[in-house]
Protein backbone atom coordinates (compact mmCIF):
# COMPACT_ATOMS: atom_id res chain seq x y z
CA UNK A 1 0.00 0.00 0.00
CA UNK A 2 1.10 3.55 -0.79
CA UNK A 3 0.18 5.99 1.99
CA UNK A 4 -0.53 9.71 1.60
CA UNK A 5 -1.58 12.53 3.92
CA UNK A 6 -4.34 14.99 3.09
CA UNK A 7 -4.22 18.24 5.04
CA UNK A 8 -6.71 20.47 3.21
CA UNK A 9 -10.46 20.25 2.68
CA UNK A 10 -10.23 20.44 -1.15
CA UNK A 11 -7.94 17.38 -1.12
CA UNK A 12 -10.44 15.49 0.99
CA UNK A 13 -13.43 16.67 -1.06
CA UNK A 14 -11.84 15.23 -4.20
CA UNK A 15 -12.16 11.72 -2.73
CA UNK A 16 -15.96 11.74 -2.45
CA UNK A 17 -16.91 9.01 -4.91
CA UNK A 18 -14.21 6.46 -4.14
CA UNK A 19 -14.44 7.16 -0.39
CA UNK A 20 -18.15 6.27 -0.27
CA UNK A 21 -17.68 3.27 -2.56
CA UNK A 22 -14.99 1.87 -0.27
CA UNK A 23 -17.13 2.55 2.81
CA UNK A 24 -20.03 0.52 1.42
CA UNK A 25 -17.70 -2.47 1.06
CA UNK A 26 -15.79 -1.87 4.28
CA UNK A 27 -15.68 -3.32 7.76
CA UNK A 28 -17.78 -0.51 9.29
CA UNK A 29 -20.37 0.85 6.84
CA UNK A 30 -22.08 3.43 9.07
CA UNK A 31 -23.60 6.78 8.01
CA UNK A 32 -21.21 8.78 10.22
CA UNK A 33 -18.31 7.73 7.98
CA UNK A 34 -19.95 8.94 4.78
CA UNK A 35 -17.79 11.48 2.97
CA UNK A 36 -20.47 14.18 2.91
CA UNK A 37 -21.27 13.69 6.60
CA UNK A 38 -17.65 14.12 7.73
CA UNK A 39 -16.91 17.06 5.44
CA UNK A 40 -20.04 18.76 6.79
CA UNK A 41 -18.86 17.96 10.32
CA UNK A 42 -15.49 19.55 9.59
CA UNK A 43 -17.07 22.82 8.44
CA UNK A 44 -18.33 23.50 11.97
CA UNK A 45 -15.90 21.25 13.88
CA UNK A 46 -18.80 19.26 15.21
CA UNK A 47 -21.15 22.17 15.82
CA UNK A 48 -18.47 23.98 17.81
CA UNK A 49 -17.37 21.02 19.90
CA UNK A 50 -13.74 21.66 18.96
CA UNK A 51 -12.32 25.21 18.99
CA UNK A 52 -9.59 24.30 16.50
CA UNK A 53 -8.03 21.41 14.65
CA UNK A 54 -5.85 20.41 11.71
CA UNK A 55 -6.90 17.89 9.08
CA UNK A 56 -4.74 14.77 8.98
CA UNK A 57 -6.55 12.32 6.72
CA UNK A 58 -4.39 9.34 5.75
CA UNK A 59 -5.17 7.35 2.62
CA UNK A 60 -3.72 4.11 1.31
CA UNK A 61 -3.74 3.01 -2.33
CA UNK A 62 -2.96 -0.24 -4.06
CA UNK A 63 -0.34 -0.56 -6.78
CA UNK A 64 -3.08 -0.04 -9.39
CA UNK A 65 -4.06 3.26 -7.73
CA UNK A 66 -7.33 2.02 -6.21
CA UNK A 67 -8.24 3.43 -2.81
CA UNK A 68 -7.61 0.75 -0.18
CA UNK A 69 -8.10 2.58 3.11
CA UNK A 70 -8.87 5.89 4.80
CA UNK A 71 -7.98 6.98 8.31
CA UNK A 72 -10.22 10.07 8.74
CA UNK A 73 -8.25 11.89 11.43
CA UNK A 74 -7.58 15.38 12.70
CA UNK A 75 -4.98 16.81 15.08
CA UNK A 76 -6.04 18.79 18.16
CA UNK A 77 -5.65 18.91 21.93
CA UNK A 78 -7.98 16.21 23.27
CA UNK A 79 -10.30 16.46 26.27
CA UNK A 80 -7.35 15.71 28.55
CA UNK A 81 -5.34 18.58 27.07
CA UNK A 82 -2.92 16.29 25.23
CA UNK A 83 -1.88 16.72 21.58
CA UNK A 84 -3.86 13.95 19.92
CA UNK A 85 -4.97 12.44 16.67
CA UNK A 86 -8.72 11.81 16.73
CA UNK A 87 -11.37 10.53 14.36
CA UNK A 88 -13.16 13.17 12.34
CA UNK A 89 -16.63 13.19 13.86
CA UNK A 90 -15.42 12.93 17.47
CA UNK A 91 -17.04 12.95 19.97
CA UNK A 92 -20.58 13.99 20.73
CA UNK A 93 -22.65 13.92 17.56
CA UNK A 94 -21.27 10.92 15.65
CA UNK A 95 -22.40 7.71 17.31
CA UNK A 96 -20.08 5.26 15.51
CA UNK A 97 -16.62 5.95 14.07
CA UNK A 98 -13.90 3.78 12.56
CA UNK A 99 -11.40 3.43 9.73
CA UNK A 100 -12.66 2.92 6.19
CA UNK A 101 -11.05 -0.25 4.88
CA UNK A 102 -11.93 -3.74 3.69
CA UNK A 103 -11.80 -6.32 6.51
CA UNK A 104 -9.07 -8.37 4.81
CA UNK A 105 -6.90 -5.26 4.40
CA UNK A 106 -7.28 -4.03 7.96
CA UNK A 107 -4.06 -5.48 9.53
CA UNK A 108 -1.83 -4.22 6.70
CA UNK A 109 -3.57 -0.84 6.70
CA UNK A 110 -3.07 -0.36 10.44
CA UNK A 111 0.58 -1.42 10.25
CA UNK A 112 1.22 1.07 7.45
CA UNK A 113 -0.64 3.81 9.30
CA UNK A 114 1.45 3.25 12.43
CA UNK A 115 4.64 3.35 10.37
CA UNK A 116 3.58 6.74 9.04
CA UNK A 117 2.57 8.01 12.49
CA UNK A 118 5.99 7.03 13.85
CA UNK A 119 7.76 9.07 11.17
CA UNK A 120 8.56 12.75 10.59
CA UNK A 121 5.45 13.46 8.50
CA UNK A 122 3.16 13.06 11.51
CA UNK A 123 2.37 15.95 13.85
CA UNK A 124 3.73 15.90 17.40
CA UNK A 125 0.99 13.67 18.76
CA UNK A 126 1.14 12.08 22.20
CA UNK A 127 -1.96 9.93 21.93
CA UNK A 128 -4.06 8.36 19.21
CA UNK A 129 -7.44 8.96 20.85
CA UNK A 130 -10.18 7.02 19.07
CA UNK A 131 -13.75 7.45 20.32
CA UNK A 132 -16.94 5.58 19.45
CA UNK A 133 -15.56 2.36 18.03
CA UNK A 134 -18.18 -0.36 18.33
CA UNK A 135 -17.03 -3.14 20.63
CA UNK A 136 -17.71 -5.54 17.74
CA UNK A 137 -15.39 -3.69 15.32
CA UNK A 138 -12.44 -5.75 14.01
CA UNK A 139 -10.42 -2.52 14.12
CA UNK A 140 -10.00 -2.85 17.88
CA UNK A 141 -8.04 -6.12 17.64
CA UNK A 142 -5.99 -4.86 14.69
CA UNK A 143 -5.02 -1.67 16.53
CA UNK A 144 -4.14 -3.46 19.74
CA UNK A 145 -2.02 -6.06 17.92
CA UNK A 146 -0.11 -3.43 15.95
CA UNK A 147 0.44 -1.29 19.05
CA UNK A 148 1.71 -4.27 21.04
CA UNK A 149 4.14 -5.09 18.24
CA UNK A 150 5.65 -1.60 18.53
CA UNK A 151 5.64 -1.43 22.30
CA UNK A 152 2.98 1.30 22.30
CA UNK A 153 0.61 1.46 25.26
CA UNK A 154 -3.13 0.95 24.85
CA UNK A 155 -6.06 1.75 27.13
CA UNK A 156 -9.65 0.78 26.36
CA UNK A 157 -12.60 2.51 28.01
CA UNK A 158 -16.18 1.33 27.59
CA UNK A 159 -18.50 4.24 26.85
CA UNK A 160 -22.22 4.35 26.09
CA UNK A 161 -24.56 1.44 25.52
CA UNK A 162 -25.83 1.09 21.94
CA UNK A 163 -28.98 -1.08 21.84
CA UNK A 164 -30.23 -2.44 18.52
CA UNK A 165 -33.06 -4.66 17.24
CA UNK A 166 -32.56 -7.35 14.57
CA UNK A 167 -35.68 -7.31 12.40
CA UNK A 168 -37.38 -10.43 11.03
CA UNK A 169 -39.22 -8.61 8.23
CA UNK A 170 -42.68 -8.87 9.77
CA UNK A 171 -44.01 -6.52 12.46
CA UNK A 172 -46.26 -9.08 14.15
CA UNK A 173 -43.45 -11.64 14.15
CA UNK A 174 -41.10 -9.07 15.65
CA UNK A 175 -43.55 -8.26 18.46
CA UNK A 176 -44.28 -11.93 19.17
CA UNK A 177 -40.69 -13.08 19.15
CA UNK A 178 -38.65 -10.18 20.52
CA UNK A 179 -40.89 -8.20 22.89
CA UNK A 180 -42.21 -9.61 26.15
CA UNK A 181 -45.96 -10.07 26.55
CA UNK A 182 -46.58 -7.07 28.78
CA UNK A 183 -44.67 -4.64 26.56
CA UNK A 184 -46.15 -6.14 23.40
CA UNK A 185 -49.64 -5.43 24.78
CA UNK A 186 -48.57 -1.89 25.75
CA UNK A 187 -47.20 -1.07 22.29
CA UNK A 188 -50.35 -2.31 20.57
CA UNK A 189 -52.60 -0.52 23.07
CA UNK A 190 -50.89 2.83 22.59
CA UNK A 191 -50.93 2.56 18.81
CA UNK A 192 -54.62 1.59 18.86
CA UNK A 193 -55.51 4.42 21.25
CA UNK A 194 -53.83 6.94 18.93
CA UNK A 195 -55.68 5.55 15.92
CA UNK A 196 -59.01 5.80 17.78
CA UNK A 197 -58.35 9.29 19.14
CA UNK A 198 -61.02 11.96 18.64
CA UNK A 199 -58.34 14.13 17.10
CA UNK A 200 -57.04 12.64 13.83
CA UNK A 201 -53.57 11.16 14.17
CA UNK A 202 -51.29 10.63 11.20
CA UNK A 203 -47.61 10.05 10.65
CA UNK A 204 -45.46 10.77 7.63
CA UNK A 205 -41.90 10.78 6.34
CA UNK A 206 -40.60 13.99 4.75
CA UNK A 207 -40.04 13.33 1.05
CA UNK A 208 -40.06 16.70 -0.72
CA UNK A 209 -36.68 18.53 -0.86
CA UNK A 210 -38.54 21.86 -1.03
CA UNK A 211 -40.04 21.17 2.41
CA UNK A 212 -36.83 20.14 4.10
CA UNK A 213 -35.66 23.41 5.67
CA UNK A 214 -39.05 24.11 7.26
CA UNK A 215 -39.33 20.51 8.47
CA UNK A 216 -35.85 20.65 9.99
CA UNK A 217 -36.85 23.78 11.88
CA UNK A 218 -40.02 22.05 13.08
CA UNK A 219 -37.95 19.11 14.25
CA UNK A 220 -35.49 21.34 16.11
CA UNK A 221 -38.41 23.12 17.78
CA UNK A 222 -39.67 19.78 19.10
CA UNK A 223 -36.17 18.86 20.26
CA UNK A 224 -35.85 22.17 22.10
CA UNK A 225 -38.87 21.39 24.31
CA UNK A 226 -36.46 19.21 26.27
CA UNK A 227 -34.30 21.61 28.34
CA UNK A 228 -31.18 19.48 27.94
CA UNK A 229 -31.59 19.35 24.17
CA UNK A 230 -32.34 23.07 24.08
CA UNK A 231 -28.92 23.74 25.67
CA UNK A 232 -27.33 21.38 23.14
CA UNK A 233 -28.82 23.29 20.19
CA UNK A 234 -26.41 26.22 20.08
CA UNK A 235 -26.33 28.32 16.88
CA UNK A 236 -23.28 26.36 15.70
CA UNK A 237 -24.99 23.05 16.42
CA UNK A 238 -28.11 24.14 14.56
CA UNK A 239 -25.91 25.00 11.58
CA UNK A 240 -24.31 21.57 11.85
CA UNK A 241 -27.69 19.86 11.92
CA UNK A 242 -28.87 21.70 8.83
CA UNK A 243 -25.66 20.87 6.94
CA UNK A 244 -25.75 17.18 7.87
CA UNK A 245 -29.45 16.70 7.14
CA UNK A 246 -29.29 18.48 3.80
CA UNK A 247 -26.44 16.20 2.77
CA UNK A 248 -28.25 13.08 3.98
CA UNK A 249 -31.33 14.12 2.01
CA UNK A 250 -29.24 14.85 -1.07
CA UNK A 251 -27.68 11.39 -0.99
CA UNK A 252 -30.94 9.61 -0.25
CA UNK A 253 -30.59 8.28 3.29
CA UNK A 254 -32.39 10.88 5.43
CA UNK A 255 -35.54 9.72 7.20
CA UNK A 256 -37.25 12.56 9.05
CA UNK A 257 -40.60 11.36 10.40
CA UNK A 258 -43.38 13.23 12.22
CA UNK A 259 -46.51 12.23 14.09
CA UNK A 260 -49.30 14.82 13.94
CA UNK A 261 -52.31 15.09 16.26
CA UNK A 262 -55.10 17.25 14.95
CA UNK A 263 -52.76 18.65 12.32
CA UNK A 264 -50.11 19.69 14.86
CA UNK A 265 -46.71 18.04 15.21
CA UNK A 266 -46.57 16.00 18.40
CA UNK A 267 -43.45 13.87 17.93
CA UNK A 268 -40.59 13.41 15.50
CA UNK A 269 -37.73 11.03 14.83
CA UNK A 270 -34.61 11.86 12.88
CA UNK A 271 -33.12 8.67 11.40
CA UNK A 272 -30.64 7.62 8.76
CA UNK A 273 -31.90 4.92 6.39
CA UNK A 274 -28.61 3.47 5.21
CA UNK A 275 -27.03 0.10 4.51
CA UNK A 276 -30.23 -1.87 5.19
CA UNK A 277 -30.39 -0.39 8.69
CA UNK A 278 -32.50 2.33 10.28
CA UNK A 279 -30.16 4.39 12.49
CA UNK A 280 -32.21 6.29 15.10
CA UNK A 281 -30.30 9.55 15.56
CA UNK A 282 -32.49 11.89 17.59
CA UNK A 283 -36.08 12.68 18.53
CA UNK A 284 -38.35 15.50 19.61
CA UNK A 285 -41.62 15.60 21.53
CA UNK A 286 -44.39 18.08 22.29
CA UNK A 287 -45.06 17.26 25.94
CA UNK A 288 -48.59 18.68 25.79
CA UNK A 289 -49.62 15.50 23.94
CA UNK A 290 -48.14 13.23 26.57
CA UNK A 291 -51.44 11.40 27.22
CA UNK A 292 -51.32 9.93 23.68
CA UNK A 293 -47.71 8.69 24.10
CA UNK A 294 -46.78 10.13 20.67
CA UNK A 295 -43.13 9.11 20.93
CA UNK A 296 -43.99 5.46 21.53
CA UNK A 297 -46.66 5.51 18.84
CA UNK A 298 -44.34 6.98 16.21
CA UNK A 299 -41.64 4.51 17.20
CA UNK A 300 -44.14 1.69 16.70
CA UNK A 301 -45.00 2.97 13.22
CA UNK A 302 -41.32 3.25 12.34
CA UNK A 303 -40.63 -0.31 13.45
CA UNK A 304 -43.62 -1.45 11.42
CA UNK A 305 -42.27 0.47 8.39
CA UNK A 306 -38.76 -0.94 8.82
CA UNK A 307 -40.06 -4.51 8.92
CA UNK A 308 -42.36 -4.00 5.94
CA UNK A 309 -39.57 -2.43 3.91
CA UNK A 310 -37.03 -5.16 4.51
CA UNK A 311 -34.62 -3.38 6.82
CA UNK A 312 -32.48 -5.86 8.74
CA UNK A 313 -31.65 -3.77 11.83
CA UNK A 314 -33.24 -0.98 13.86
CA UNK A 315 -30.29 0.65 15.60
CA UNK A 316 -31.04 2.93 18.57
CA UNK A 317 -27.35 3.87 18.76
CA UNK A 318 -25.91 5.52 21.88
CA UNK A 319 -27.96 5.73 25.06
CA UNK A 320 -29.37 3.16 27.49
CA UNK A 321 -32.85 4.62 27.91
CA UNK A 322 -35.21 2.01 29.29
CA UNK A 323 -37.78 2.24 26.48
CA UNK A 324 -35.23 0.87 23.98
CA UNK A 325 -35.02 -2.40 25.85
CA UNK A 326 -38.80 -2.52 26.24
CA UNK A 327 -38.95 -2.65 22.46
CA UNK A 328 -36.68 -5.71 22.51
CA UNK A 329 -33.27 -4.18 21.90
CA UNK A 330 -30.04 -6.15 22.33
CA UNK A 331 -27.16 -4.41 24.06
CA UNK A 332 -23.66 -3.53 22.89
CA UNK A 333 -21.32 -0.60 23.54
CA UNK A 334 -18.91 1.82 21.98
CA UNK A 335 -15.40 2.18 23.31
CA UNK A 336 -12.64 4.74 23.45
CA UNK A 337 -9.25 3.31 22.53
CA UNK A 338 -6.17 5.35 23.41
CA UNK A 339 -2.74 4.46 22.02
CA UNK A 340 0.40 6.20 23.26
CA UNK A 341 4.07 5.85 22.42
CA UNK A 342 6.56 5.33 25.24
CA UNK A 343 7.89 8.57 26.75
In a domain? residue 308: yes
Distance CA 308, CA 39 (A): 33
Of the CA atoms within 13 Å of residue 110, those in its CB half-sphere come to 22
Domain hosting residue 141, numbered range:
2-161+334-340
Report the pLDDT value the prediction gives residue 263, as an integer from 0 to 100.
96
Residues 65 and 117 in one domain: yes
For residue 155, the domain's CATH number is 3.40.630.30
Across the strands, what pairs with 272? 254, 279
Q: What is the DSSP string of 96-136?
A: ----EE-GGGHHHHHHHHHHHHTSTTS---SEEEEEEEETT
Q: CB–CB of 142/107 below 8 Å?
A: yes
Residues 155 and 187 in one domain: no
Distances (CA, A) of 317 to 68, 124, 197, 216: 28, 33, 31, 21
Q: Is 147 a member of any domain?
A: yes
3-class secondary-structure state, position 226: coil
pLDDT at 343: 75
The answer to whether residue 322 sits within a structural domain is: no
Q: Which pLDDT does position 83 carry in this prediction?
A: 98
Q: What total of structural domains would you count in the chain?
A: 2
The reply to whether 320 falls in a domain is no
Give domain status of residue 305, yes or no.
Answer: yes
pLDDT at 176: 97
> In terms of DSSP bridges, do strands 164-166 and 201-205 run parallel, antiparallel, or are they unpaired?
unpaired
Strand pairing partners for 279?
A: 272, 315
- 230 and 211 within one domain: yes
Report strand pairing: 127-134 vs 73-77.
unpaired
Q: Do 73 and 129 share a structural domain? A: yes
Per-residue pLDDT tens for 85-98?
A: 999 999 999 999 99
Judgement on whether residues 179 and 155 belong to the same structural domain of the protein: no
The model scores a pTM over 0.75 = yes
The residue ranges of DSSP E strands in the chain, in sequence order, are 2-6, 54-55, 57-61, 67-71, 73-77, 83-87, 100-101, 127-134, 153-161, 164-166, 201-205, 254-261, 264-274, 277-285, 313-315, 333-340
Question: Measured between alpha carbons, how far apart are the two ends of the chain, in Å?
Answer: 29
Each of the 343 residues of the chain gets a pLDDT tens digit; together they read: 999 999 999 999 999 999 999 999 998 999 999 999 999 999 999 999 999 999 999 999 999 999 999 999 999 999 999 999 999 999 999 999 999 999 999 999 999 999 999 999 999 999 999 999 999 999 999 999 999 999 999 999 999 999 999 999 999 999 999 999 999 999 999 999 999 999 999 999 999 999 999 999 999 999 999 999 999 999 999 999 999 999 999 999 999 999 999 999 999 999 999 999 999 999 999 999 999 999 999 999 999 999 999 999 999 999 999 999 999 999 999 999 999 998 7
CA 218/CA 210 separation, integer angstroms: 14
Same domain, 94 and 176: no
Q: What is the DSSP-derived secondary structure letter of residue 330?
A: B
- pLDDT at res. 153: 97
Does 155 lie in the same domain as 15? yes
Q: What is the pLDDT of residues 299-321, one digit of tens each?
A: 999 999 999 999 999 999 999 99
Amino acid sequence: MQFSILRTLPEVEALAGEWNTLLEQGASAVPFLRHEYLTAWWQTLGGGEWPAGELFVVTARRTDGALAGVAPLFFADNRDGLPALLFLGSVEISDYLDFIVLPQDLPAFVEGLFELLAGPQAPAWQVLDLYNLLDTSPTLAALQAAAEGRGWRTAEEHLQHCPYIPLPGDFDQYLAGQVDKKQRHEIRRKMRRAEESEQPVRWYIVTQPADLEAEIEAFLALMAQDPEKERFLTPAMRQQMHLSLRQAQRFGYLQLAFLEVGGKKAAAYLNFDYNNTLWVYNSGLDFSYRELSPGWVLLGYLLQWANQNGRAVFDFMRGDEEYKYRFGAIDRRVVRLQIARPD
